Chains A and B, each alone.
Chain A
Amino acid sequence: MHPPAHPFAQDVAHCSDHCGEQPTVWDLPNVPPALKREWLSLETRRHFLARGANALSWAGLASLLGGGASRALASTPAPGALRLPHQAPKAKRAIYLFQAGSPSQFETWDYKPALQDMFDKDLPESVRGGQVLTGMTASQARFPIAPSIYKFAQHGHSGHWMSELFPYTARIADDLCILKSVHTEAINHEPAILQITTGNMFPGRPSIGSWLSYGLGAVNEELPAFVVMTSKMPHRTNVQALSNRLWSSGFLSPEHAAVALRAGNDPVLHLGNPPGIDGDVRRAMIDGVNELNRQLFERVGDPETNARIAQYEMAFRMQTSVPELTDFSNEPQSTWDLYGPKAKEPGTFAYNCLMARRLAERGVRFTQIFLRSWDQHTNLPRNIKLMAEESDQPSYALVTDLKRRGLLDETLVIWGGEFGRTCYSQGVLSRENYGRDHHPRCFSMWMAGGGVRPGISYGETDDFSYNIVKDPVHIRDLHATMLHLFGLDHAKFSHKFQGLDQRLTGVLPAQVIDAILA
């Protein structure tokens, strides 16, 4: 933790913890005492109200806590209490292969042959339509069109046009539903990534996996319902920071946040018992801490105390479940052949994809893998090739592996970034080199399995992949469709917070995309 710049910043940074040991509002300088009193009375009221809202869950918990059982869920409805899903699900799990930084659609899935004859011509103003550009290209004197230097070919019975950068993914063409008309409002990475991971450009909202954990609970209670992994990068250019607000539980109880698995021998920090401490001692310690936390809850009534109890319990269960999960020694040679040699190196995208399959086998609801460094403003031809090489085989291997094990039907796999890129070159355009700026108006993603119709493409862009000409898919529509596959009606699946029925899809219109449902 960095030292807080503002006195309130410390409170904010510790809001998921308890404030008893922290400086209180009385310690703040230059605040009139009357205001402090008002603040504290509001605080008390907030706690009281939150406690009232959870009284019912507590009643349910009391029945769960037979004898020495110590599972605490007071800030979460008891399993099944939400009576979800609304309808029988198609997908039981999802694996989101997040390509952070945003792969260009021109070198991946949106084939634009007409651009080949327009090399270095100016982008017609009628196409751009006065759109405000980012500061990175707004000052360019011209917007010269940059066709893809990579070739495309059709693959499979589906006839998907796919770039030569993805020879492995081309083999699973008939399993893929390629969306070519996804769009967003965000034009910079952080708001764009937040919007696609949480449904809102502003931090503080629950991410998709947190909503699923909240609504559907865990299939395997020995593991978190929501797991995140970040991947080593084959090169580093314009790397975006990733932070846990992308996988936070927002206003949902903290136990719905993702557990981030680290690469290497210690996938969850501080999970192992130190020398001399055995499981029984650890159990007794946690029981004692939980009892203290229960007393704290009785006294203060902050529902997050119960989230803390639940997290201790999850950590205890993970002491057993995580070593088994991360022990790849029983994987046969065929696994390494499929995922490629990098899968043996912890932290690579290939390793993480294999881990995602193991998580899916064990029932983890939502696994999100981040692969960064797709942000190719310059030197795109060279760098996108490095990234494609990192992403291609493992993505193919994961889909193939899930399919042959009978898991793909109920596992939704998603591949994509946070926005698109421009058809014109950022910086100098040559026959061999160019860059592409951010472009929110259209981008491509693919999905497979989990009740999505395989072998189709949905949506169309114009010849410049600048504007959508058919079947736009807003991120809200994407989220509504994902929830639908899990049997959840996005319009009804809500959580009351700050006086509103908050939803992943927000309040603007969102549609399940019927045409891509299997």
Chain B
Amino acid sequence: MTNSRPPSPSRALAAAVLLVTAGLVRAETSFYQARVAPILDRHCVSCHGPEKQKAKLRLDSFEAVMRGAESGVMVKPGDPRGSELFRRITLPASDEEVMPTDGKPLLSRDEIRIIELWIAGGASASKVVADFPGAPLLSRFKPAEPERAPDWRPRAAEIAALEARFHVRLVPRSQVPTDGLVLRTASSPGRCDDAVLTGLAPIAPLIVEAELARTRITDAGLAAVSGWENLRSIDLTRTAVTAAGVSALSGLKALEVVNLTDTGVDDSGVAPLRALPALRRLWLHGTRVSSGDSGGG
């Protein structure tokens, strides 16, 4: 969506001048290790590292970076604009010398600025993060979450047909196709009844959240939900479900959140839910459950 053309040198310089006091920093790690090396690892090392050494250049250690390529040094300490490394990553995307090459994503503005600040500051191995006030933080590299559900994309046509047939929405939780779908009924809860839940059986493994508040579902619908193995969260607020019905959820090993606000559920219905292995939240306001305010931990 954003156009990641690298900034022109003059723009990069202007941006550097505009730097304000951004993140406060921890003092121990070297700036090279904390900020520069992860960028090189991400964008450069697949061609300039242990596996391939294009142009006889490696960028997988500080020493290798400073040694340079067969054609000469890549980094001139104190002089970003005179450094081949900086020149290559700031060329326009259309330039045939731009790096990374072969249509791989170019460095982001923040990544370029980090490299620029590092070279301008002497391309040091030992300077610490605190020596670069105002340097951008790297976007967080998060370990991939375990898959919540199978990839929904091969079933897109089937999902669209079910949405149209049952007047519900089946919305991907995120861009990650294995993050699962949210069953959404808020636009017309009055049209969502037990037959809808039964009818969603073919794609049930894709559903990780069921927003069923104020719908017309009953215990019979919950019997259908008992097979939704990847369900993490179900909201049954102000529905007609009872203790007998919610016990059908007791086999859902992934279920973390159950909202029973303003339902007729009583103690007998809640006991099996409390035994759910993944349960974190059980909401019981407006029920007849004796320990009515349980939020769970």
Interface residues in chain A, defined as those with a beta carbon under 8 Å from any beta carbon in chain B: 79-80, 82-89, 218-222, 361-363, 403-406, 409, 470-472, 474, 487, 489, 491-494, 501, 503, 508-509, 511, 514
- B 180-208 binary contact with A (CB < 8 Å = 1; else 0): 00001011100000000000000000000
* Contact residue among A79, A83, A406, A489 (Cβ-Cβ distance under 8 Å from B235): A406
Q: Which residue of A lies closest to B18 (CB)?
A: A508
A222-B187, A487-B174 given as contacts; is B293 within 8 A of A404 (CB)? yes
* Contact residue among B145, B237, B257 (Cβ-Cβ distance under 8 Å from A405): B237
**Are the CB atoms of B1 and A492 closer together than 8 Å?**
yes
- Complex CA distance for A403 and B296, rounded to whole angstroms: 12
- B 12-55 binary contact with A (CB < 8 Å = 1; else 0): 00000011111110000000000000000000000000000000
Q: Is B171 an interface residue (CB 8 A)?
A: yes
**Are the CB atoms of A88 and B139 closer together than 8 Å?**
no
Q: Is B2 an interface residue (CB 8 A)?
A: yes
- Complex CA distance for A422 and B94, rounded to whole angstroms: 53
A289 to chain B, nearest CB (A): 23
**Are the CB atoms of B19 and A509 closer together than 8 Å?**
yes
B65 to chain A, nearest CB (A): 25
* Contact residue among A88, A221, A363, A508 (Cβ-Cβ distance under 8 Å from B173): A88
**Are the CB atoms of A219 and B235 closer together than 8 Å?**
no
**Are the CB atoms of A361 and B174 closer together than 8 Å?**
no
* Contact residue among A86, A405, A489 (Cβ-Cβ distance under 8 Å from B283): A405
- 17 sample A-B contacts, Cβ–Cβ < 8 Å, listed by A number: A86-B175, A87-B176, A88-B176, A220-B187, A361-B237, A362-B186, A403-B295, A404-B283, A474-B20, A489-B139, A491-B108, A491-B139, A494-B1, A508-B20, A509-B20, A509-B136, A511-B22
**Are the CB atoms of B24 and A471 closer together than 8 Å?**
yes
Residues of chain B lying within 8 A (CB to CB) of residue A79: 169
- Complex CA distance for A115 and B213, rounded to whole angstroms: 51
Residues of chain B lying within 8 A (CB to CB) of residue A508: 18, 20
Residues of chain B lying within 8 A (CB to CB) of residue A406: 235, 237, 257, 259, 261, 281, 283, 285, 295
| Size of B's binding interface in residues, CB under 8 A | 43
**Are the CB atoms of A87 and B175 closer together than 8 Å?**
yes
Residues of chain A lying within 8 A (CB to CB) of residue B19: 509
* Contact residue among B3, B139, B235, B259 (Cβ-Cβ distance under 8 Å from A501): B3
* Contact residue among A89, A470, A491 (Cβ-Cβ distance under 8 Å from B2): A491
- Complex CA distance for A362 and B172, rounded to whole angstroms: 20
Residues of chain B lying within 8 A (CB to CB) of residue A362: 186
- Complex CA distance for A146 and B261, rounded to whole angstroms: 48
Give the 8 A-B CB pairs with smallest separation, nearest first: A406-B283, A363-B186, A220-B186, A406-B259, A404-B285, A221-B187, A88-B174, A88-B173
Q: Is B116 an interface residue (CB 8 A)?
A: no
* Contact residue among A82, A219, A474, A503 (Cβ-Cβ distance under 8 Å from B186): A219
Residues of chain A lying within 8 A (CB to CB) of residue B176: 87-88
Residues of chain A lying within 8 A (CB to CB) of residue B110: 491, 509
- Complex CA distance for A494 and B1, rounded to whole angstroms: 7
Residues of chain A lying within 8 A (CB to CB) of residue B175: 83-87
**Are the CB atoms of B1 and A87 closer together than 8 Å?**
no
Q: Is B137 an interface residue (CB 8 A)?
A: yes
Residues of chain A lying within 8 A (CB to CB) of residue B285: 404-406
- Complex CA distance for A474 and B20, rounded to whole angstroms: 10
- Complex CA distance for A308 and B292, rounded to whole angstroms: 47
**Are the CB atoms of A511 and B137 closer together than 8 Å?**
yes
Residues of chain B lying within 8 A (CB to CB) of residue A503: 2
Q: Which residue of A lies closest to B148 (CB)?
A: A88
Residues of chain A lying within 8 A (CB to CB) of residue B235: 406
- Complex CA distance for A194 and B105, rounded to whole angstroms: 35
A403-B295, A511-B22 given as contacts; is B188 within 8 A of A222 (CB)? yes
- Complex CA distance for A416 and B176, rounded to whole angstroms: 34
**Are the CB atoms of A361 and B213 closer together than 8 Å?**
yes
Residues of chain A lying within 8 A (CB to CB) of residue B179: 88
Residues of chain A lying within 8 A (CB to CB) of residue B172: 80, 83
- Complex CA distance for A85 and B171, rounded to whole angstroms: 11
Given contacts A406-B295, A472-B21, 9 further A-B contacts (CB under 8 A): A88-B173, A89-B173, A222-B187, A362-B186, A493-B1, A501-B2, A509-B20, A509-B134, A511-B22
- Complex CA distance for A87 and B180, rounded to whole angstroms: 12
- Complex CA distance for A404 and B235, rounded to whole angstroms: 13
